[in-house]
């Protein structure tokens, strides 16, 4: 298993708009198996739907590096807590289909819950240590759901390349570790965060925000920008970096902190001083919507 943060050179593709849609596990395996028999390279982008420009960027990068691109849309109940938004999570199916076809997906796989969690399903996957901090501390059980579903999806698709987004940095790091530990024959790519013009990280949950809340949500990226400037100016104290973020947030009464963290980018363990590559990660509620954002930084 290898990890990459850059897309490969363009490979032979096909005309956009010819996307095929399948539902069950067997149908997905048949479609992908036919490509595999021809020696084609398979890129895979797992999503929960509510497709936005961040997803489309992943698909375009997969398109450039692969012969065929598979996208899954599955709102995974296992990664939602009892008081989270599983039932209300946006599912704009017709819009998603159109966007995915235009972006260059060859196969859209839309399994149902019973396809991936059939009666008698018992197995769960944990990546110990990486699953209990940051998002894991705030959302117990969340990453067990993430690692379990990603392993199931990868086992069905059998991709050469798996494309993930940096916005969910902890999720990406956890999946990288799982792929390494379980000897999964897949190359994991992590693509940069796609942002709106004012800096807000794109997220399917942004559509929950009212106009006023949307204005406040930009505080997450502004706080991170202040921490990045401090790092560039020589600040190495994690406590003072967290203070930089919180100073910005004080001007936004609608932003309620969940966490502001400076951690080792590999282990996700807290650091007191920045000596190597770190992840600066934040989570906050704006109204009832929980948002996350982050950046990685390494001293030169």
Domain with residue 215: its CATH number is: 3.30.1300.10
* Within-domain flag for 300: no
Range with the lowest mean pLDDT among 32-41, 61-70, 76-85, 121-130? Answer: 76-85
* Within-domain flag for 210: yes
Structural domain boundaries, residue 44: 2-191
Residues 70, 184 within the same domain = yes
* Within-domain flag for 146: yes
What whole-number percentage of the chain has pLDDT above 70? 94
- pLDDT (0 to 100) of residue 83: 85
Please work out, in degrees rounded to the nearest 5, the angle formed at the alpha carbon of residue 224 by the alpha carbons of 219 and 229.
Answer: 125
What is the token pair recorded at 59? 């698909």
Task: Examine the pLDDT at 8 and tell me if it is beyond 70.
Answer: no
Residues 152, 23 within the same domain = yes
- pLDDT (0 to 100) of residue 14: 53
Task: Examine the pLDDT at 16 and tell me if it is beyond 60.
Answer: no
* Within-domain flag for 107: yes
| CATH number, position 168 | 3.40.50.620
Domain count, the chain: 2
- pLDDT (0 to 100) of residue 7: 45
55, 97, 142, 189: which one is catalytic?
55
- pLDDT (0 to 100) of residue 4: 66
Catalytic (active site) residue 52: no
* Within-domain flag for 197: no
- pLDDT (0 to 100) of residue 300: 86
Residues 186, 226 within the same domain = no
Residues 216, 150 within the same domain = no
Residues 118, 218 within the same domain = no
Task: Examine the pLDDT at 1 and tell me if it is beyond 70.
Answer: no
Task: Examine the pLDDT at 104 and tell me if it is beyond 90.
Answer: yes
67: confidence class by pLDDT, cuts 50, 70, 90: very high
């Amino acid at each position: 298993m290898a990890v990459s943060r850059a897309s490969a050179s363009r490979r032979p593709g096909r005309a956009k708009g010819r996307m095929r849609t399948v539902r069950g596990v067997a149908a997905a395996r048949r479609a992908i198996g036919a490509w595999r028999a021809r020696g084609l390279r398979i890129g895979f982008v797992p999503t929960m739907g509510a497709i936005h420009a961040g997803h489309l960027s992943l698909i375009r990068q997969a398109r450039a590096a692969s012969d065929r691109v598979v996208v899954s849309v599955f709102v995974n109940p296992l990664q939602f807590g009892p008081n989270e938004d599983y039932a209300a999570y946006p599912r704009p199916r017709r819009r998603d289909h159109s966007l995915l076809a235009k972006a260059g997906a060859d196969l859209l796989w839309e399994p149902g819950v019973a396809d991936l969690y059939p009666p008698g399903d018992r197995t769960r996957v944990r990546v110990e240590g990486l699953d209990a901090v940051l998002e894991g501390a705030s959302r117990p059980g969340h990453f067990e759901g993430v690692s379990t579903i990603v392993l199931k999806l990868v086992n069905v698709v059998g991709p050469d390349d798996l494309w993930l987004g940096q916005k969910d940095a902890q999720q990406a790091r956890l999946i990288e570790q799982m792929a390494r530990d379980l000897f999964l024959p897949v190359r994991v790519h992590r693509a940069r965060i796609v942002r709106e013009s004012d800096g807000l990280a794109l997220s399917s949950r942004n559509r929950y925000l009212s106009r006023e809340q949307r204005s406040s949500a930009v505080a997450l990226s502004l706080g991170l920008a202040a921490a990045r400037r401090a790092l560039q100016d020589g600040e190495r104290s994690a406590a003072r970096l967290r203070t930089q973020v919180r100073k910005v947030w004080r001007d936004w009464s609608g932003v309620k902190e969940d966490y502001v963290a400076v951690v080792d980018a590999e282990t996700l363990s807290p650091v007191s001083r920045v000596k190597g590559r770190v992840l600066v990660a934040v989570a906050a509620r704006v109204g009832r919507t929980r948002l996350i954002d982050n950046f990685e930084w390494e001293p030169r």
